[in-house]
């Protein structure tokens, strides 16, 4: 379908956020004329899946937790419910590297006492968590400072920092607790102790017949689609193709009386009553500078961490250690270049041929921006060398696939909440412009879906016009 010259709502960006906004707007108010414009010739953003010699390699994220009802509802509405794939039970087997060896992550208090991740003194320090010092007022505390204050330095280094690098590719000393893991802060405020809060929540969950989550958030099971996460993007494309134009890069948004004029690279334009910027925040900053320097400056303040995903396919008999589990994370104090590795073929079916193993190994993060200066061959060799030292590899991989994301993961650093206040205040003043992506209120697929629903609801209800 050719792009229209005027619409009620223009969505810029065809990743999971923009596509979800499109879906919800078409569902909530079918009378609105809505069109999505994507700069690339493909949809999906960092979500993609390549199929090579029997392997399925995800470009970026490889799934979502099934704890968010809206995401599961969205999949059903797209007709994808029968294509959902829950991770195997082995996903519960997770490991952390300590002193060069993989140690199982304890999933219960008895297992924790037997775990080799922390020393006896480190475990004892966690036991004294209920007596930890209180937070100094209403400061925007870093994740690391919070963890060190409540459970000690050793646990902060070997449990919390690798978790942060695994989720955010971030540095725990830089990231804001209240922006990244608000539930942790709320638990401390309400119960005065994480341990007391977890006990109380576990009792409540048992009484309601539910499964309790940990301090980082509610529980959930890793879920994807048969064949790879790109299945959800294909679902959107199949249903809303006539509402989507690819290869249309927005250059600027400008005021046009009671509407906005979106100008595209190449000279074409479209007039829209309302605009949704579903792009990375740095791209939204460039497009919106013509209409508001204030909001552009605030959007540009949100930093991103680089990430390289190195995928290997190995014959199983060339892998010396057992890879029955989710994979492992590497604490920064271990001085390895890789952040961790996911054993995809142990998590989902048909991601590797029979008798083979697929590794997804991450390099980079906010603590290693220099990694993006390395060549492809250098990144691949680092991943192979570090993996070999940890799990033992013989020979060369059958298949190698590398994905580079120079601005891969938004970083909710200390002060992020104040940046968001400035963005929201300026957008409210402007009226008719919205932002929706993983750069604002959560980086996961579930977060993007929830934010997209919120934005679409506001537009459908006529808010912010």
Q: Among 114, 92, 305, which residue's Cα sits nearest to residue 214?
A: 92
Distance CA 73, CA 116 (A): 41
Which run of H or of E encompasses 249? Answer: none
Distance CA 70, CA 337 (A): 37
Q: Quick one: pLDDT at residue 229? A: 97
> Distance between CA atoms of 440 and 410, rounded to whole angstroms?
8
Instruction: Please give the pLDDT value at position 217.
Output: 44
pLDDT of residue 195: 87
E strands, 190-348, are 222-225, 244-246, 250-256, 259-264, 269-277, 304-315, 327-329, 338-342
Q: Which DSSP helix (H) or strand (E) runs through 410?
A: strand 399-410
Which of 368, 360, 314 lies closest to 336, judged by CA?
368
Name the residue among 347, 363, 438, 343 with its Cα closest to residue 403.
363
Q: Where are the alpha helices (DSSP H) in 142-274?
A: 143-151, 153-155, 161-168, 177-180, 182-191, 194-207, 230-240
Q: Provide the total of helices (H) and of strands (E) in the chain, helices listed first.
A: 17, 19
Q: Which residues of the chain have pLDDT under 50?
A: 214-217
pTM (predicted TM-score):
0.93
| Residue 35, phi then psi, degrees to nearest 5 | -140, 140
pLDDT the model gives residue 4: 80
The CA distance from 14 to 43, in Å, is 5
Give the relative orientation of helices 16-28 and 445-460 as an angle to the nearest 10 degrees: 40
Q: Would you state the structure tokens that stand for residue 111, as one six-digit string? A: 């297992």
For 123-151, how does the pLDDT look when each residue is reduced to its tens digit (9 = 90+)? Answer: 999 999 999 999 988 899 999 999 999 99
**pLDDT of the residue at 107:** 74
Site of tokens 């940890």: 390
**Backbone torsion region of residue 395, taken as left when φ is above 0, otherwise alpha when ψ lies between -120 and 50, otherwise beta:** left
Q: What's the rounded Cα separation, in Å, for the pair 359 and 388?
A: 12
């Amino acid at each position: 379908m050719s792009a229209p010259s005027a619409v009620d709502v223009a969505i810029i960006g065809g990743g999971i956020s923009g596509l979800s906004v499109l879906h919800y707007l078409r569902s909530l108010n079918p009378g609105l004329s809505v069109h999505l414009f994507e700069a690339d010739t493909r949809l999906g953003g960092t979500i993609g899946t390549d199929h090579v010699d029997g392997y399925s390699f995800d470009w970026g994220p490889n799934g979502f937790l099934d704890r968010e009802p809206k995401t599961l509802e969205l999949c059903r509405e797209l007709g994808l419910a029968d294509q959902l794939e829950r991770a195997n039970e082995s996903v519960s087997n997770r490991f952390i590297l300590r002193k060069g060896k993989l140690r199982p992550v304890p999933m219960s208090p008895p297992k924790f006492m037997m775990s080799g991740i922390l020393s006896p003194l480190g475990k004892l320090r966690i036991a004294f968590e209920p007596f930890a010092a209180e937070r100094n007022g209403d400061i925007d505390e870093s994740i690391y400072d919070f963890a060190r204050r409540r459970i000690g330095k050793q646990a902060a280094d070997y449990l919390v920092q690798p978790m942060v690098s695994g989720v955010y590719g971030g540095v725990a000393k830089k990231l804001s607790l209240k922006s990244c893991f608000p539930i942790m802060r709320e638990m401390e405020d309400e119960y005065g102790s994480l341990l007391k809060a977890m006990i109380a929540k576990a009792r409540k969950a048992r009484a309601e017949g539910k499964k309790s989550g940990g301090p980082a958030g509610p529980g959930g099971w890793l879920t994807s689609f048969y064949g790879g996460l790109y299945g959800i993007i294909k679902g959107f494309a199949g249903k809303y193709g006539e509402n989507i134009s690819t290869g249309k890069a927005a250059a600027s948004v400008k005021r046009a009386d009671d509407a906005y004029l979106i100008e595209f690279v190449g000279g074409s334009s479209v007039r829209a009553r309302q605009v949704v910027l579903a792009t990375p925040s740095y791209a939204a900053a460039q497009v919106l500078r013509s209409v508001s320097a204030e909001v552009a400056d605030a959007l540009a303040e949100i930093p991103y961490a680089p990430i390289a995903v190195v995928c290997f396919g190995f014959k199983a008999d060339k892998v010396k250690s057992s890879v029955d589990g989710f994979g492992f994370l590497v604490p920064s104090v271990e001085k390895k270049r890789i952040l961790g590795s996911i054993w995809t073929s142990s998590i989902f079916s048909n991601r590797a041929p029979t008798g083979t193993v697929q590794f997804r190994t991450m390099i980079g993060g906010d603590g290693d921006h220099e990694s993006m200066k390395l060549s492809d061959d250098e990144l691949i060799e680092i991943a192979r060398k570090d993996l070999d030292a940890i799990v033992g590899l013989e020979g060369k991989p059958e298949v190698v696939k590398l994905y580079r994301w120079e601005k891969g993961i938004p970083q909710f650093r200390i002060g992020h909440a104040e940046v968001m206040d400035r963005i929201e205040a300026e957008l409210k003043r402007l009226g008719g412009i919205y932002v929706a992506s993983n750069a604002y209120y959560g980086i996961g697929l579930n977060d993007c879906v929830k934010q997209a629903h919120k934005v679409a609801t506001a537009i459908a209800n006529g808010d912010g016009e």
